[in-house]
Amino acid sequence: MTATPTLTRRTIGDAFDHIAQATHCQAGAVIALGGALAAGLAQATANVSLDESVSSEAQDAARHMQQAMSQARLRFQALADQDAEAITAFAALRKRGEPLRGYELLCDGPREMADLAIGAAQAMQDYRAHVCERTKDDLEFALALMSNTARAAMLLLDSNLRIWPLPELIARYDAHVTRLAAAIAALRPVARIRPLC
């Protein structure tokens, strides 16, 4: 019997169909896929910058950006697959008499996604000074997507704490929600590409 491919090993269309036709919402997987796509777009802006014969300082920044976004993209993909299987893992933990560990599993994913997205968004902001003219707007699109990925992941964690308001979970994760919200508020995606007249 052939094993079912993980979410990120499916075709894009199959993955979208899998998410849309599921009988439970895979919000975390969707959020992680968004982060992976945003990181990929930001990585492409660095690729183009290296093709543009930019200064050596900008080349160094582009290479650093390529590496950082590649790592973020791969981790987001792993988190998407992990989240797609999280409900099954949660059910197995609950059956073994470890429901708290199951709840923690469902909270750890969005917390990591939010932290990863915040770090990636900060790297994109730092790269603004070095991105080439041809892809500077694309970097802003990636930053907007990544900032929203961070916000959605933080909201997912907050939602889990609303659904399961266990004292142990609140004690472990509530401070993370507060910290993440503050870090997200400090991000600076542009509101407009063209200056207002």
- Over the stretch 172-192, which tens digit does the pLDDT of each residue have? 999 999 999 999 999 999 999
CATH numbers and ranges of domains, the chain: 25-185 (1.20.120.680)
pLDDT band at 119 (very low <50, low <70, confident <90, very high): very high
**What proportion of the chain, given as a percentage, has pLDDT over 90?**
70
Say yes or no to pLDDT of 85 above 80.
yes
User: What whole-number distance in Å separates Cα of residue 164 and Cα of residue 184?
Assistant: 24
Say yes or no to pLDDT of 16 above 90.
no
Quick one: angle between helices 99-127 and 86-95, nearest 10? 150
Per-residue model confidence as pLDDT tens digits over 49-82: 988 877 899 999 999 999 999 999 999 999 999 9
**Can you give the pLDDT at residue 93?**
83
pLDDT band at 98 (very low <50, low <70, confident <90, very high): confident
* Distances in whole angstroms, Cα of residue 77 to Cα of each of 29, 48, 172: 9, 23, 25
- Per-residue burial over 28-50, b if 16 or more Cβ lie within 10 Å, else e, is bbbbbbbbbbbbbbbbbbbebbe
The mean pLDDT of 137-166, rounded to a whole number, is 97
